[in-house]
Amino acid sequence: MHIMKHFLLVILLISFSNSIVQAKFAGGSGTEEDPWHVETIDQLQEIRNHTDRHFIQVNDIDAGEAVAWNDSLGFQPIGVPGYPFSGTYDGAGFIISDLTIVYCPVCPALAYAGLFGRVENGRIINTRLQNLHITGLNRVGGLVGYNAGEIRNSSVTGVISGRIYVGGLVGWNTGSIINSFATCDVSGYDNVGGLVGYNENEGKISDSYALGFVTGENEVGGLAGVNVGNGLVSTSYASGKVKGSLYVGGLIGLNTANIVSSYWDRESSQQNNGVGWGNPDGITSLTTSQMTGLSAFENMSVLDFDKIWLLTEEYPALYWEDVDALDLPTSADNEVLPATLELRQNYPNPFNPTTQIGYAVPEPTNVRLDVYNALGQQVVTLVNKYKSPGVYEVSFDATTLPSGAYLYRLQTESQTKSRQMLLMK
């Protein structure tokens, strides 16, 4: 009888404890099939006590009042070293606005700064942060400080600042970031990026973009500060202004990993190099006019405009965004080809040390593009291959060449065209 009473008491205590936890949320039971409902900033903060459970946001949340919490340090990130977030959070497309997080040198909880501090095997989807303000130190991101999970269909707008590993969406990424974007002013010292500060190991960034102003000292990029190891950046772009001192690129600051079919705006970024240091393969340099409106359909043709991306009057947007989308060009529109052979003026000109040379080919032909110095000596062959009809662009790097005037010549099987450019070091 005594054992039975003890057993019943344990059952009652467990039931009472579960009732208390459930009362802290707006509904649900915390399982994957029946996630807890989050409808207030207090409930959002309570998640940090249940980091292995499952949650869904059920309305917009104004997080403004949290600015006065914790002696004005604001909201405390969800998931810390030793207790990372490993559950799921579905923002369901609702907004979390005006969230503030301030770095505290004696607060272990803020060693990783973001709505979620540290995520391991967790999943964050459909989450929208607006007018976010985060001041951190290392591993600082608007959504996640350190991500070793999956982020999908999520976005951040606001101001993010830190010292090392600072990104608009994620500070340090070894997980997956898919169909997401950041429009943030991002500042730091090392490893600073518009979307991700540091992408490494198996970190993957796909079908994502960054638009904000990114500033730092070393390894600074419009999309990611650093991409190394087995990191992968694919079908993504950046267009924000980028400013730094060493290893600064319009897309990636320092790259020794893989980049596939990605773009940067060399005009708005004010960077002539897509990669500040390392391998630039897989990146295409475009102008603002080439990346906006209907022009993006032609110039960023690798992007999936049927299922993932939308054309807008501005830069391409993701399919889940609430934007005024343009109709896709018809097949007849896409059949417009160059009527004559064209060799375009390089951009920028004068330049130091890299520039872009564009040309158009009206019919299938062998194409050769050479560069000559003022003495008529050939210094490099940029193109020597068979080309289909279309518009092309190639980068010319004159790092090892002296200042002066250079001639570039385009030859096909039937025509030759030449232009001059000026290298000023």
**Which of 286, 304, 323 is the C-terminal boundary of a domain?**
286
CATH number at residue 106: 2.160.20.110
Alpha-carbon torsion 76, 203, 195, 215, what sign? positive
The verdict on residue 320 lying in a domain is: no
Paired residues of 358 in beta bridges:
393
* Tens-place pLDDT, residues 370-419: 999 999 999 999 999 888 788 888 999 999 999 999 999 999 989 999 99
Residues 345 and 280 in one domain: no
Residues 277 and 360 in one domain: no
- H helical segments located in 246-324: 288-291, 295-299
The verdict on residue 310 lying in a domain is: no
Residues 282 and 358 in one domain: no
Cβ within 8 Å of residue 39, ≥6 positions away: 26, 57, 58, 59, 61
The verdict on residue 16 lying in a domain is: no
Q: Which of 2, 1, 120, 99 is nearest to 41 (CA)?
A: 99
Q: Supply 109's token pair.
A: 């909880």
State how many domains the chain has. Answer: 2
CA distance 248 to 225: 8
* Coil vs helix vs strand at 162: coil
| Mean model confidence pLDDT for the chain | 90
Residues 60 and 204 in one domain: yes
- The helix (run of H) or strand (run of E) holding residue 171 is strand 170-173
Q: What is the Cβ-side half-sphere exposure of residue 38, based on CA atoms within 13 angstroms?
A: 30
Q: Supply 396's token pair.
A: 């010319």
> Could you tell me the pLDDT band of residue 107, with boundaries at 50, 70 and 90?
low
The dihedral formed by the CA atoms of 301, 306, 311 and 317, expressed in degrees to the nearest 10: -100
> Could you tell me the pLDDT band of residue 104, with boundaries at 50, 70 and 90?
low
Residues 216 and 143 in one domain: yes
Residues 85 and 233 in one domain: yes
Q: Where are the beta strands (DSSP E) in 235-288?
A: 237-238, 242-243, 246-249, 252-255, 258-260, 262-265, 275-278, 283-286
The verdict on residue 213 lying in a domain is: yes
Burial category of 288 from C-beta neighbours within 10 Å (exposed 0-12, middle 13-18, buried 19 and up): middle
**Which of 286, 302, 327 is the C-terminal boundary of a domain?**
286
Residues 276 and 374 in one domain: no
* Tens-place pLDDT, residues 211-264: 999 999 999 999 999 999 999 999 999 999 999 999 999 999 999 999 999 999
**Which of 286, 307, 322 is the C-terminal boundary of a domain?**
286
- 321-to-125, 316, 317, 423 alpha-carbon distances in Å: 14, 10, 7, 43
CA distance 203 to 322: 28
Paired residues of 190 in beta bridges:
164, 218
Domain extent at residue 363: 337-423
The verdict on residue 270 lying in a domain is: yes
> Does the pLDDT value for residue 6 go beyond 90?
no
Which of 10-19, 213-222, 279-288 has the lowest average pLDDT? Answer: 10-19
Q: Supply 307's token pair.
A: 């299922």
Residues 194 and 48 in one domain: yes
* Burial track 99-112 (b if 16+ CB lie within 10 A, e otherwise): bbbbbbeeeebbbb
The verdict on residue 326 lying in a domain is: no
* Tens-place pLDDT, residues 164-203: 999 999 999 999 999 999 999 999 999 999 999 999 999 9
Residues making up the chain, counted from first to last: 425
The verdict on residue 175 lying in a domain is: yes
